[in-house]
Structure formats: structure tokens, C-alpha cells
């Protein structure tokens, strides 16, 4: 995808003649298998910032990319966004490249803290401000980052557990779309801490393979008739669980994490009970603004504590209000 086009066309329905000129089109390159790198070129600033994540360009991370583009335009500075598609080596190499380029600030996600530790410490050693986003709430202080922007995943999982209690569930399958993402594991951990019944945590396949996810969930449901609920720890898995329940002839309580148009529609229809909203737009926007304020005005935020963007919950009661923003690409 071209991030500039996504940020400057479909995301704004209130354009006017007073709107500032759009930035130059993004330059998109392939760097590592299925990775995404986008440079947002501005002309009014001599600073360059980097946002380097483990993300892909799917439902969740496309919103982060839009936010980075909006923040780049707001500060008038170049921002390089890189999504490593869950490849810690590619993400580390991108961080090392940003250091070599003399970045004025680097924000990274820490889905694989062990795989990124050396590169993260190299950022701090080079005297470049380091921020973490999305994943990394348990590691950012030790690595020397200024702050973390995201949600506390265990707390988010705990909130989901309480909702399943209220729904009357007795056995929840916590379905994960990544094997080595500590944040997803913590969501399942938090669920187990507050849910009154049994929790089974399983990796059910990558989001890139929706058919595999559906088939795996259906097989688990067939093998264990006591499972009466599924928590998909991303925006796609709840929909795969819905399809799997139908194919397995089961009725389930289903919850999810994050947002998509299809997920919101299923919540509005009453097919899915809720989703946890961590507001990923803020996770892309806030680090860029904070890096710029630190570089130009010596401001820091957070006071050493994380800046929380969630959790919130989208349910049938408020889904209609969120739906238009999801369609616009900013939620």
C-alpha cells in the first residue's frame, strides 16, 4: 500500500480549501520478506524520525501507518515507517540502519524483546531517543526508552475475562495469531487471571492464512465440546471463530481485540459480544509527536511511566459510533 494515499484520501471526509498542501508522495521499498518501508518526505524540517515495528500492512497496522503519516504532516518532518512482518531480524536490521542514518528519534515495537534487545540498546548507546509502542510495556525501562505508548496487555486480558464471566461462559479458547509475541500471551494470561472457568491458550495460525485459522479453531472445538467461548487476541480471529463455530455446529460467546469494519459489523449484529480497543492510531501518532518535541524543545512525557492508549471496549451499545471511524481508517 502507499501510505501517503491512505493517509490523505480515505481518512478525511472534512477536507476544505483551507487545508494545507499535502506532502510529497511516499517512497515505498521492499526491505526483507513481506516487510513494508515508507518514507514520508516533508520540506520544512531538518529532522528525520523512524517508526520501526513488527507489523504488517493488515487491518491493525494500516491504521498505525495512517497515524504516522498524519503525525509527519503535522510536524512537517520526514518520518520513515518500517513494518517487519513479524521478522525480528529484519526489524533489528532496520533499527541498525536508522542509527547509521543519524535518526533524531526511533520508536520501536517489542513483540520479541530478546530478538531486539541488542538493537534497542544500540539506539540508546548512540544517544538517540528511544520510544516503544504497542509491545514493550514490560521492557522499555530496562532498555532505556523514554516511555512506552500502548496498553497493559494483562489488564486488557483481565477485562475480557470479566466480560466472559458476565456472559456465563465456562471454558474459553484463547486463540493467538502469533507464536512469539509476548503481548498476545499476556492477553491470555490476563484472561486466565479473572475468568472463573477454564482457559485453553492455543496458536491457531497466522492472519495471513485465514482458512488455516478457521480450520484449526473448528478442530479444537470438535475435539473439546466443553469450549463455549473464544477470545481471539486480534481483529481477525473473532471472525474466524465465528465461521469455525458455524462449521462445527456450535454456538459460542466470542470476544476479540482491536478493530476492523467486519468485526464492528459482527458486533452490531450481535454475533460477537465485544472487542478490546487499544486505539492503535494513538500508538502511531503519539511517538512521532513526542520524538519531535524532545528533539526540538527538550520535552519528555510519561514521567517514566507508560502512556496508556487502552483498554476500551466496543460492544453492541457503542459499535455504531465507532463503525464510521473504522471505515475511515483511523480506528
**Phi–psi pair at 113, nearest 5 degrees:** -55, -40
Length of the chain: 331
Beta bridge partners of 196: none
Question: According to the model, what pLDDT value does residue 30 have?
Answer: 45
Give the cell for residue 286: 503519539
- Cα distances (angstroms) measured from residue 163 to each of 195, 231, 244, 271: 8, 11, 21, 15
Beta bridge partners of 203: 176
**Phi–psi pair at 39, nearest 5 degrees:** -105, 125
What DSSP state is assigned to residue 272?
S
* Residue that has been written with the C-alpha cell 476500551 in this structure: 312
- Record the pTM: 0.75
Give the cell for residue 20: 494545507
Which helix or strand (DSSP H or E) is residue 118 part of? Answer: helix 113-125
Contacts of 56 (CB under 8 A, 6+ apart): 34, 36, 83, 85, 86, 207, 208
Sign of CA dihedral 242, 245, 250, 256: negative
Q: Average model confidence (pLDDT) for the chain? A: 90
Give the cell for residue 157: 486480558
Say if CB 28 and CB 37 are below 8 A apart.
Answer: yes
d(CA 270, CA 185): 27
Secondary structure class of 266 (helix, strand, coil): helix
What DSSP state is assigned to residue 9?
I
CB atoms within 10 A of CB 221: 21
Average pLDDT over residues 59-80: 95
* Residue that has been written with the C-alpha cell 514521567 in this structure: 303
Cα radius of gyration (the chain): 20
Average pLDDT over residues 28-49: 72
- Of 98, 100, 82, the C-alpha closest to 34 is 82
- The answer on pLDDT for 173 being more than 90 is yes
pLDDT range class, residue 41, cuts 50, 70, 90: low
High-pLDDT (> 70) share of the chain, %: 89
Question: According to the model, what pLDDT value does residue 10 have?
Answer: 35
Q: What is the pLDDT of residues 284-313, one digit of tens each?
A: 999 999 999 999 999 999 999 999 999 999
Say if CB 198 and CB 225 are below 8 A apart.
Answer: no
Question: According to the model, what pLDDT value does residue 35 have?
Answer: 87
d(CA 187, CA 61): 18
- The answer on pLDDT for 20 being more than 80 is no
Amino acid at each position: 500500500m502507499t501510505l501517503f494515499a491512505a493517509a490523505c484520501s480515505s481518512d478525511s471526509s472534512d477536507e476544505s480549501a483551507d487545508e494545507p498542501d499535502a506532502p510529497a508522495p511516499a517512497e515505498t521499498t521492499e526491505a526483507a520478506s513481506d516487510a513494508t518501508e515508507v518514507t514520508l518526505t516533508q520540506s520544512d524540517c531538518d529532522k528525520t524520525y523512524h517508526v520501526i515495528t513488527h507489523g504488517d500492512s493488515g487491518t491493525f497496522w494500516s491504521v498505525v501507518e495512517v497515524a504516522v503519516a498524519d503525525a509527519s504532516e503535522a510536524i512537517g518532518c520526514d518520518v520513515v515507517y518500517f513494518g517487519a512482518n513479524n521478522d525480528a531480524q529484519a526489524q533489528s536490521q532496520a533499527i541498525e540502519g536508522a542509527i547509521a542514518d543519524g535518526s533524531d528519534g526511533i520508536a520501536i515495537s517489542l513483540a520479541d524483546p530478546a530478538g531486539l534487545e541488542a538493537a534497542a540498546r544500540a539506539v540508546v548507546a548512540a544517544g538517540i531517543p528511544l520510544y516503544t509502542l504497542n509491545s514493550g510495556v514490560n521492557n522499555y525501562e530496562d532498555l532505556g526508552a523514554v516511555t512506552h505508548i500502548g496498553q497493559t496487555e494483562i489488564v486488557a486480558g483481565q477485562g475480557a475475562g470479566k466480560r466472559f464471566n458476565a456472559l456465563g461462559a465456562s471454558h474459553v479458547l484463547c486463540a493467538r495469531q502469533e507464536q512469539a509475541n509476548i503481548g498476545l500471551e499476556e492477553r491470555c494470561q490476563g484472561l486466565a487471571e479473572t475468568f472463573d472457568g477454564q482457559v485453553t491458550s492455543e496458536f491457531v495460525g497466522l492472519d495471513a492464512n485465514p482458512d488455516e485459522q478457521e480450520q484449526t479453531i473448528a478442530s479444537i472445538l470438535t475435539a473439546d465440546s466443553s469450549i463455549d467461548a473464544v477470545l481471539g487476541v486480534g481483529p481477525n480471529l473473532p471472525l474466524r471463530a465465528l465461521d469455525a463455530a458455524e462449521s462445527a455446529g456450535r454456538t459460542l460467546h466470542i470476544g476479540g481485540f482491536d478493530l476492523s469494519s467486519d468485526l464492528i459489523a459482527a458486533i452490531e449484529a450481535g454475533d460477537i459480544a465485544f472487542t478490546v480497543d487499544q486505539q492503535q492510531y494513538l500508538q502511531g501518532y503519539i511517538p512521532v509527536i513526542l520524538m519531535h518535541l524532545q528533539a526540538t524543545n527538550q520535552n519528555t512525557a510519561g514521567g517514566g511511566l507508560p502512556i496508556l492508549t487502552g483498554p476500551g471496549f466496543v460492544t453492541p451499545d457503542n459499535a455504531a459510533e465507532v463503525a464510521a471511524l473504522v471505515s475511515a481508517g483511523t480506528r
